[in-house]
Amino acid sequence: MASQALAQVTPDIRRRIERLRTIPTMPRLIERVVAALDDAEIDLGRVGELIEVDQALTAQILRLANSAFYGAQGRTTHVAPALVLLGTTVTRSLVLTSSVFDLQKVGLRGFWEHSIGCAVAAGALAKVTQRVPPGEASAAGLLHDLGKVIIYRELPEDFATIVERAHTEGRSFRAVEQALLGVDHAEVATWLTARWHFPPQLAEPIAFHHHPGRAWRAADHAAIVHLADILVRAVGFGNGGDPLVPEVDPAAWARLELTADMLDRVLDQFDFDLDQALNHAVLD
């Protein structure tokens, strides 16, 4: 798929996209933390000790553990109990991305808000449908546009052009980036998630949030993030890079067995959790 797309773009853009594919390797500390998380006899105390060496990473873990996504009773002030609360899948994703990609620094108005909104919406959908752990759904929602972060960091001028054209031409961000670069942000993200061995619960929703039917190992996660992305756009919270609200994939809706009553509950849960998130540690 990638090779076909690259054949359609200009040589200059092709060279830039090839550079994108040389995603940086993990810092040594992150490698050690991930290895400890993957150990069959995992010791969360040891993982906590490794994480606490890095002040920024410690802050990220504690912010998320104390956020509305996890409904923590009181404040978690130490990493080890925070890891128990988050679980290894969510912790692994946060560790892998926090040292390289700071979503709050992405130069797109409303982008961080869109990512937070999608995380909250995915968590709300997970709570109502009870198909996947809400924490995993929230983490996948938070990271669903990771490919846009990569494009912004590596091709900032092209990123700005995509955003401008999407708004002036009334086209989707994906349509413009495919026309300009020959690939879209979902595919770009797979280069990172594959190299860094993201678990399916996170890799597939990131890769297939526009085409959830293509997921095969984490289909429920992908369906939830797909619908969460659309829900957040529909309510007008944040900005995903274009003014459009995508169409719902009927198969994703059917897969989650959503009803009108359930959707009302999702919206109520979303409003409550979003209010909590905007006033809680995840945005500190």
Distance set, CA 121 to CA 134, 156, 172, 228, 259 (Å): 10, 28, 21, 5, 16
What is the spatial distance between Cα 202 and Cα 139, in angstroms, rounded to a whole number? 7
Of 115, 146, 142, the residue nearest 240 (C-alpha): 115
What is the spatial distance between Cα 182 and Cα 172, in angstroms, rounded to a whole number? 14
CATH class of 102-283: mainly alpha
Cβ atoms of 219 and 205 within 8 Å: the answer is no
What is the spatial distance between Cα 31 and Cα 14, in angstroms, rounded to a whole number? 30
pLDDT of 116 reads 81
| Three-class secondary structure of residue 185 per DSSP | helix
Structure tokens at 126: 């997970």
Summarised one tens digit per residue, pLDDT across range 61-110 is 887 777 666 655 556 778 888 888 888 877 877 777 665 455 555 555 57
Domain with CATH 1.10.3210.10 in the chain: 102-283
What letter does residue 6 receive in the DSSP assignment? H
SS3 percent helix, strand, coil of the chain, rounded to 5, is 70, 0, 30
Cβ atoms of 89 and 199 within 8 Å: the answer is yes
What is the spatial distance between Cα 279 and Cα 61, in angstroms, rounded to a whole number? 17
Backbone phi and psi for residue 249, each to the nearest 5 degrees, phi listed first: -75, 115
pLDDT of 194 reads 81
pTM tops 0.85: no
What is the spatial distance between Cα 37 and Cα 34, in angstroms, rounded to a whole number? 5
Alpha-carbon 48 to chain mean position: 23
Exposed/middle/buried for 105, CB within 10 Å: 0-12, 13-18, 19+? Answer: exposed
Q: Which residues of the chain have pLDDT under 70?
A: 1-27, 67-75, 97-109, 277-284
Q: Where are the alpha helices (DSSP H) in 170-199?
A: 173-181, 185-195
pLDDT of 2 reads 43
